[in-house]
Amino acid sequence: MRAVVERDDPSAKDVDDFMIRRFLRARDLDIEKASKLFLKYLSWRRSFVPNGVISASEVPNNLAQRKLFMQGLDKKGRPIIVVYGGRHNPSKGSLEEFKRFVVYTLDKICSRMPGGQEKFMGIGDLEGWGYKSSDVRGYLAALSILQDCYPERLGKLFLIHVPYVFMTAWKMVYPFIDPKTKKKIVFVENKKLRTTLLGDIDESQLPDVYGGRLPLVPIQDS
């Protein structure tokens, strides 16, 4: 695959073998499909992140909502992020800024991964989620970026404190989720929350808001 993508885009020479393998796994080792996805990613990265990194100054409205935190590692050594979906307000900031925020976040997560680790764990806390937080366009954009530009990065996602009203948005997004990604998403009952999280996260690494010992750290300060 490397020979194929380097022939069509010389910048592929700067990419390590781990990234090549992630794209291959994402397309079930189909070299043609993986190469097509990878070349599309390289082109997207050049146009969407021309400076090589998204700065905090490019996503002020999303950072001000204090909806995303990162700290600690799960039992497999994967960085943990906590997303408060109820704090998301699509009326504050554009869709383009939200896309930049997704990239800003994923790049931060990847930079925090220990050597040999390629995945992260997410906790999506939907307490307080309502129609003002609903953003199907944003969810689909984030899903596309995660699946097409950061394949094989998500290890597991716990969805907690899920209100019934959220299922309306979920049903709209679900058909666009890759089968492999679907298997990584776990809905957690409130009464089983702490025991479920402790199954994957040691108490010393679990956020204190869920009965652990680590305080939440805003993504921009992590």
pLDDT, tens digit, 9 for 90 and up, residues 89-101: 999 999 999 999 9
Q: How much is the pLDDT for 134?
A: 97
CA distance 153 to 216: 22
Residue 130: Cβ within 10 Å count: 11
Decide if 146 contacts 106 (C-beta within 8 A): yes
Helix/strand/coil (H/E/C) assignment for every residue in 56-85: HHHCHHHHHCCCEEEEEECCCCCEEEEEEH
Q: How much is the pLDDT for 6?
A: 87
Q: Give pLDDT < 50 ranges for the chain.
A: none
Q: How much is the pLDDT for 197?
A: 98
Contacts by residues 175-178 (CB-CB < 8 Å, ≥ 24 positions apart): 176/140, 176/143, 176/144, 177/143, 177/147, 178/147
Q: How much is the pLDDT for 174?
A: 98
Helices (H) and strands (E) counted in the chain, each on its own, are 9, 5
Q: How much is the pLDDT for 4?
A: 87
